[in-house]
Amino acid sequence: MPSRRSTLRPSWRSWHSAISPAQRPIAKSKWLFVRPSVHTISKGEAVAAFAVLLGFVVILQVLGGAYTSGFGGFPDEPAHLVTALMVRDFIAGLDFRHPLQFAQQYYLHYPKVTIGVWPPDFYAALGIWFLIVGASRGAAIMFIAIVAVTTASVIYVTGKRLIGRWAGVLAAVLFVASPLVQESRARVMTEHVSTLAMLVSTLCFARFATTGRIGNGLAFGIVAAVAILTHGNAWALGLVPGITLALTNRWHLLRRLGLWLAAVPVLVACVPWYGFAPSIVAGREGGVASLLVEAVPGYAWFIYLGVAVPVLIFALIGPARTTVPSRIKRAIGSSASERAFHASQSALSLRHTRLTVSSTIAPPNTAASARRTRRLLVPAR
C-alpha cells in the first residue's frame, strides 16, 4: 500500500497552480505589465531608415523653399542664429578665459544674443555644427533636418522593436508629415533638438522601469538635463516617472536608488542655470503664474493642431491596452486561483473523511480493503 505521506500530500505542481498570483512571487511584474514581443533590428536597417527619412525630409524642405527663404519665420529665429554664430566664433578663437566679456562685446555688434534668455545647449550644438561644415543658411537648415530625421529614426526603431516594421514606418512617417514638424523644419529653432532629447530621455526611463538598473535611471536624468538646457518645455519630463508608475502599477520602483539618482543631473546642471541666468519669465508682469495661464491653453491648442484627434486617439490606445487588460487579468486570475485553492482544500478534506470512514468499517488485512483504500488515497488526476 502506498505510504500515507506520498498519497495525502498533493504534488508541488498542484499546490503551485492553486496559489493565487498575489501569494506567488511575481517575476518582472508579469501580471502588472503586458510585455510585447521584441523584434530585433540591424544597424544596416537603422542606417537605411535614416537615409530614406533624410531624403524625404530634404525633398519636403526644398519643395517648401526652406533653403532659399530668410530667417523671419518666427521672431526668435534670428536671435537663435546669431547666438549660435557667437558660440562658433568663441570656440574658433580658442580663448576661453573671458566668456562673459566676449558675449557682451558680441552683443554690442549684433544685438540679437539671447543665450541668457534661452538655455545654452542648442547654441552649443549648432555652433559646433557651423564650426565643422561652415556657417550658412543651408547648413543651419540641414542641421534641423538631421535632428528631425534622427527623432523619426528613433521612433521607427522603437516602433519596430515593440510591434513590427509596419508600426515603425507608420509612426515615423506620421511624425515627419505632421503639420508642426513640416512647419518647424524650415526654421532655425530649438524645438527639434528638445524633442529628440525628451524622446530619448523618456525611452531611458522606460528602460529603467523594465530593468530597475541605476545606469538606466542616471541616463534618464542626464538626457533630461540636456533637454531642459535646450528648452524650458522639457521640465515636463518631471511628470514621466509619476505617470509611468501610475500606468504600470510599478510602485516598487520608488525603493530603487536609480529613480532618485536621476534627479541629481537636473539639480546640479539645470536648477543653477534657471535660478541665476536671465529668464524670459523675469520680464513678464505676473511672473510664472501669468506665463502658465497663457502657456497651458496655448500648448494644448498647438498639440491639437499638430497631431489632430485621430492621432491622439491612437496615442491613448497604448496605455489602455497595456494597463487595463493586465489589471483585469490580474483580478480575474487572482479570484479564479483562489477558488481553485479552496476547491482543492475541500477535496482533500473530503478524501480524509472518506479515508477515515473506510478504514473504520472495512475489515482489516484483506486484499479488497487494501485496493479500496488505495483508490481513495490516490489523488485524482
Last residue of some domain: 152, 169, 189? Answer: 189
Count: domains in the chain: 3
Question: Would you say residue 262 has pLDDT above 70?
Answer: yes
Shared-domain flag, residues 57 and 136 = yes
Range with the poorest average pLDDT among 82-86, 216-220, 311-315: 311-315
Instruction: Kindly state whether residues 49 and 153 are assigned to the same domain.
Output: yes
Res. 229: pLDDT tops 90 = yes
pLDDT of residue 65: 84
149/173 Cα distance (integer angstroms)? 10
Q: What are 339's three cell numbers?
A: 477558488
Residue 108 placed within a domain: yes
Q: Are residues 149 and 195 in the same domain?
A: no
Please say which residue of 128, 162, 189 terminates a domain: 189
Structure confidence at residue 249 (pLDDT):
86
pLDDT in tens, 42-77: 778 888 999 999 999 999 888 888 888 777 778 788
Position 33 scores a pLDDT of 40
DSSP assignment of 47-104 equals: HHHHHHHHHHHHHHHHHTTTTTS-S-SSTTHHHHHHHHHHHHHHHHHT--S-HHHHHH
pLDDT reported for residue 118? 86
State the Rg of the chain over Cα: 31
**Domain housing 78:** 40-189
Query: Bigger pLDDT: 232 or 277?
Result: 232
Percent of the chain scoring above 90 in pLDDT:
34
pLDDT of residue 68: 81
128 or 332, which is more confident? Answer: 128
For residues 358 and 337, the model is more confident at 337
Does 351 have pLDDT greater than 80? no
Domain membership of residue 22 (yes or no) is: no
| Residue that terminates a domain, selected from 162, 189, 216 | 189
The whole-number pLDDT of residue 330 equals 57
pLDDT of residue 44: 83
Q: Is the pLDDT of residue 329 over 50?
A: yes
Residue 232 — very low, low, confident or very high, per pLDDT cuts 50/70/90?
confident
Kindly report the pTM of this predicted structure.
0.69
| Per-residue confidence (pLDDT) for residue 24, from 0 to 100 | 45
Regarding whether 159 and 97 lie in a shared domain, the answer is yes
Q: Which pLDDT belongs to residue 91? A: 92
- CA–CA gap between residue 330 and residue 302 (Å, rounded): 38
Of 13-22, 57-66, 173-182, 253-262, where does the model show the most confidence? Answer: 253-262
Pairwise CA distance, residues 225 & 270, whole Å? 6
Same domain, 62 and 172: yes
Is position 374 within any domain?
Answer: yes
pLDDT in tens, 142-191: 999 999 999 999 999 999 988 888 889 999 998 998 888 888 888 899 99
287: left (phi over 0), alpha (psi -120 to 50) or beta: left
Question: Is residue 228 scored above 90 in pLDDT?
Answer: yes
Is residue 288 in some structural domain? no
338 falls within a domain: yes
Highest mean pLDDT among 101-105, 114-118, 144-148: 144-148
- Decide if pLDDT at 370 tops 70: no
Q: Is the pLDDT of residue 375 over 60?
A: no
Do 179 and 205 share a domain, yes or no? no
Q: Lowest-pLDDT range, 2-6, 70-74, 295-299, 356-360?
A: 356-360
Q: Is 203 found in the same domain as 174?
A: no
Same domain, 70 and 174: yes
Question: Is the pLDDT reported for residue 128 higher than 80?
Answer: yes
In a domain, 100, yes or no: yes
Through-space distance between the first and last CA atoms of the chain, rounded to whole angstroms: 19
Span of 37-46, 98-107, 242-251 with lowest mean pLDDT: 37-46
Q: Is 49 in the same domain as 166?
A: yes
Cβ contacts of 174 within 8 Å, gap of 6 or more: 311
Task: Give yes or no: residues 226 and 239 share one domain.
Answer: yes
Q: What is the pLDDT of residue 353?
A: 42
Residues 48 and 113 in one domain: yes
Task: Report CA-CA distances (Å) from 225 to 235, 239, 267, 268, 327.
Answer: 9, 14, 9, 9, 34
The confidence score (pLDDT) of residue 323 equals 59
User: Is 228 within the bounds of a domain?
Assistant: yes
Q: Taking 90 as the threshold, does the pLDDT of residue 124 lie above it?
A: yes
Residue 8 lies in a domain: no
252 and 201 in a common domain: yes
